[in-house]
Every structure is written in structure tokens, then in C-alpha cells.
Chain A
């Protein structure tokens, strides 16, 4: 499929492995990306609170350019959660608020641009990969399944909420990436913190707050038995990976939880080499975790001959059904 692509600033620099791995796998999943020409900053998370109209106009310019350049696809995708949320928010709020729509378009008109809200479908990259390309197509491309790798799927706070267009199965506990990991042969672990905050820019503004949040996530993934965390957002990756080292210093702890992008894991499963996928650039070395990948699927512990539960077994286990 074809989609308009808004890379955003992170992917150019610190999240380069995200972009590299995406570019490496796009042919495998038949995803044709058309980068928006002359895109600008999305305003990140703060600008919206500083000046609402200016922030929307800044984002509106990207939408207007995308609309102008769109040829045979109305899907606009972004890999960064903040970029995605900003683009989706401006589109949704312009749709609902006629006054905002008029104001933003007035600003855009000064640059000879216009945006018709609703004309583009703003989607996060994971959403496109899971729901358009689909698990079956992805599974069919897997040549080196990630057998034996236990992964904590981490979505962060900005992707599944507020979910303007109803793209996700659940806002608090989404499962799209878990299903994707399963398609790649990995084992997603069940954990509580899928959509909890990574600390965002607090790692710069108030590191102690961020360290607490980072520690909770890393501890949660460790406690759930994960070998690594898979993420879909440059900010999350930066905080959990780069600041993990700082966090360990702060708490005198020794967590070693690698954090990779889901696209990197897809690349590995598709048989790409690690370098091509930007693996090795992470602060917490992923190599020991990736060494756990086995050639064969771990034997599902042969369903023990049904024996009757004894009182010492406790109550029947909880079930998600």
C-alpha cells in the first residue's frame, strides 16, 4: 500500500534506527512511503499549551502540504507518537471547531496553503502495519522467527488515547503490537504498564520525576519476564534506553533492559542484518537479549496430563477469556 509519510525530527537524528529499520523492511511489507516535501516541526507536546492557534497552524501546514501532494493515497502516517497525535489532533479539532478551522486556514492562506479537515486519514505507523498490511501478510514474510524472545509491548501514552478515529481495540490495554510480535514468532509478555507515561520531556525538565517513571516501566517489564521492550515512539525509546543508564545511577540499580523499535524486530524476523536495522546503536545492548532467539519454536510445555486440581493448587487461575 501507499501512504504519505511524515518522518518528524526525531527520526532524522536520535531515532535514526527507527527510520533505517522502517526503510529496510518497507519493501517486504509492500509499503510505499511518500515523504511530504518541505515538512516542518510538529510542535512536539508543549507548543499546544503555549499557543493553541499557532500550534495548530504549524501542524496545519504539514497537513496542507500533505493534502496538496497527495496523489493516490489519503493516508498520512507518522512513526513518532507525538507527531502522529499532533497531526490527528489538529485534523480532528479543525473538523469539530469551525472557528478553529477558519482561523488556521486564514493563517495557511498567508502562505498560499489550505487544508480541508478530514481529507486525510492520519494514522500511526503501527496502526498501518497491523491493520492495513495485516498480521497474516507479515507472518508470511517471516524467515527468521523470533522464537524464544519474550517482549514487553510498550505503546506509550500518546498513541491509543484519545484515539480520535477509533483505530485501537482498547485505549488502556491495546493488543495490536502484541499480536504483531506473535506474528513475528516472539512471545509478548502480559504486563500492566503498556500505556503508562515514559516521562516525556520530564527527563530534561525534572529528571527525578522521569527516573521514577522510567524505573517503573523497566521494573515492570523485568518483573513480567521480558527480554526486551518493543516501542513505537522515539521519545519512549530515548527515555527508556538512554536514560536507563542515568536512572540506574540515580537508584543505584542495575537494570539491563534493551529497548528496540517494533520495526527493528520486524527486520530481524525478515532476515535483515542487525547493522542495517540500526541495532547496536542503543545504549543498553540488545545483543544478549537477541542471543536468546532460538531456531525452533520452544516446545509448548506438553499440556500436562489433566490431573485433578488439589487444594494446594489454590483457586482456578484468572483468565482473560
Chain B
């Protein structure tokens, strides 16, 4: 792959730790590459694996899942569910021929802006090395997407 390839990363963050870590990175002006676009969930436990598949199918080259540190979940232990789903996703994606490194799990507390920025920087480099993701199903352009959302099974297929 040429060095000019700029991967697109979708990051799923939780409202309490990792999204705030991203805020903290901002407050401390910690620079990181602009390749990641974040989505806020209340908890990393809200992460439906189909979100990840959807993001990869729609053109993302990688997905970051970031939650509170184990033991520090705002909802007590739901980040462990994200951990399990991440493992599951990596296995599933491997069967699709997709490199497991494209889906990264990270923990960052609300005060760890520097760590969060470092996770993104590392991931961007890693995915840059992997090159663009050639997801087999070519996504439909926005205009042709029906107004009602496709059922989950279709998205995953």
C-alpha cells in the first residue's frame, strides 16, 4: 500500500469514560491523526456487533471499541460484555477474511486523553499498514438507501 492511504476509523465510545477521554484529549490539546470519527453510546455494553459490521461494510477500514477500564464501568460490569463481543467479532471477521486488527478494543478512563489519543494513533498506523478494507459487498450510495432501516440480519449478511 502506498503511504498516502488514509484509513477511516469509526470509534464507538462510552458516555462516561472513553468519550470523555476524547474530550480530555481535546482539553489537553493532545494531537492525534484525524482518521477516527466517534460515536457516543451510553456504555460499551450497548455495542451491537452489527454496528461494527455495518461500519466496515459501509466503508470504514477499522473500528475502535473503547470503554471504561475493567472494574470501572459506570454500569458496574457491562464493559466486560463489550470485551466478550470484541472477541466474538474478531473470530467472526477472521472467518470473513478480515484481519482481526481492524477491530480494536481499548480502555480509557475520563482522565486518559493521552492514552486515548495514543490508541487512535497506533490503530491508524496499524490499519494503514493493512491497507484499505475491500469489503465484498459494495455499499449502496446514501441516496438509494431506503428511508426505513434494513433489518439487522440483512445488514450483517
A and B touch in the complex (CB under 8 A): no
A residues apposed to B, CB below 8 Å: none
B residues apposed to A, CB below 8 Å: none
